[in-house]
Amino acid sequence: MPRPVLVTGAAGFAGTHLLALLRREGTPVQGWYRPGEPPRGTALAGDDDITWTAIDLRDAAAVDRAIAALQPSAVYHLAGAANQGAAWANTDLTLELNAYVTHVLLAAVARHATDARVLVTTSAVVYAPSDRALAEDSPIAPSTPYGVSKLAQEMVALEAARREQLDVVVVRPFNHIGPGQSPGFFAPEFAHQVARIEAGLDAGPMRVGNLTPRRDLADVRDIVRAYRLVMQHGARGEIYNACRGEAVEIGELLAMLRALVARPIEVVVAPEKLRPVDVPLLLGDHARLSAATGWRPEIPMAQTLADILEEQRRMVRF
């Protein structure tokens, strides 16, 4: 029987989409999720190719026992703190969920599954602010607590690769959006407000944060496809950007969403929605990823936004 593939953070946004991709290949998958946060989606939760296990990655003994029993052939490490805004209020927890749990997981892999290939997802926010596209060798200087935690996670992963000779690859995803994302993120939050106003459940206006930053926004389904290709073709110990390679202003994205409904929607900038720091531009260069794997973004932004809005329409109706 083939050894299973392990996905940590499997019940999360990107994790759910990655599982959908892996199950189409018929790969036996073990999905780990945080206790108290059960798998989302009945199709995935009931899939015979997916075995679900609640694991607290902060519990080193539990992780060690689970890896020893599972003997995974590959590990996609997607678990961690994902909300950049929340990191300002709880920096300690963000560091723990990003850097410490990565150390715990890789230590267990080094003891019990040394031949497993491990993909660690960090973030583009490790880069220093720049007015141009960021490549993997661009200067590193995170400007937020979340960025610091992701850089620490990355350093833990690369050090484990050097010290323990683990087969680790690192992906720095830029912003990714799509159906299934939590409302605390700007794209689904915008779409939720639009859907409520469209349905007559809210009179408006929409309350939003800073609309001037420009972000490199890819569809999550393209991003997890990049993860899969990196696991198949990426070089050991290498870092890869995963991004669309184009920047769009947040206000322009909101205008695209508003254009999908028939009624006019007023918008106001709300002080409580503003972040302490908002980097004006975050734009990536995926040339290294494309050269190594042949990956290109395929899903147009218009389709991504339509899918997000349709999901939010269903939610406000039921």
> Is 100 a domain residue?
yes
Does residue 34 carry a pLDDT above 70?
A: yes
Kindly indicate the confidence band of residue 251, based on its pLDDT and cuts at 50, 70 and 90: very high
> Is 18 a domain residue?
yes
Does residue 210 carry a pLDDT above 80?
A: yes
71 shares a domain with 171: yes
Does residue 290 carry a pLDDT above 50?
A: yes
Residue 84: the pLDDT is: 59
262 shares a domain with 232: no
208 shares a domain with 137: no
Domain that holds residue 93: 5-176+218-242
> Is 293 a domain residue?
no
Kindly indicate the confidence band of residue 30, based on its pLDDT and cuts at 50, 70 and 90: very high
Rounded to two decimals, the pTM is: 0.94
> Is 48 a domain residue?
yes
Note the pLDDT tens digit of each residue in 252-261.
Answer: 999 999 999 9
d(CA 225, CA 18): 8
Q: What is the CATH number of the domain that holds 203?
A: 3.90.25.10
Residue 85: the pLDDT is: 56
Does residue 276 carry a pLDDT above 90?
A: no
Does residue 228 carry a pLDDT above 80?
A: yes
Note the pLDDT tens digit of each residue in 137-191.
Answer: 999 999 888 999 999 999 999 999 999 999 999 999 999 999 999 888 999 999 9
Note the pLDDT tens digit of each residue in 35-57.
Answer: 987 675 434 544 567 999 999 99
Note the pLDDT tens digit of each residue in 74-128.
Answer: 999 999 986 655 555 567 889 999 999 999 999 999 999 999 999 999 999 999 9
132 shares a domain with 151: yes
Residue 154: the pLDDT is: 97
Note the pLDDT tens digit of each residue in 126-139.
Answer: 999 999 999 999 99
> Is 169 a domain residue?
yes
Residue 49: the pLDDT is: 74
Residue 37: the pLDDT is: 73
Does residue 216 carry a pLDDT above 50?
A: yes
Mean pLDDT, residues 270-299 taken together? 94
d(CA 231, CA 210): 36
169 shares a domain with 275: no
Q: Fill in the amino acid letter for 311.
A: E
Worst-scoring range by mean pLDDT, 33-37, 59-63, 189-193, 282-286? 33-37
263 shares a domain with 129: no
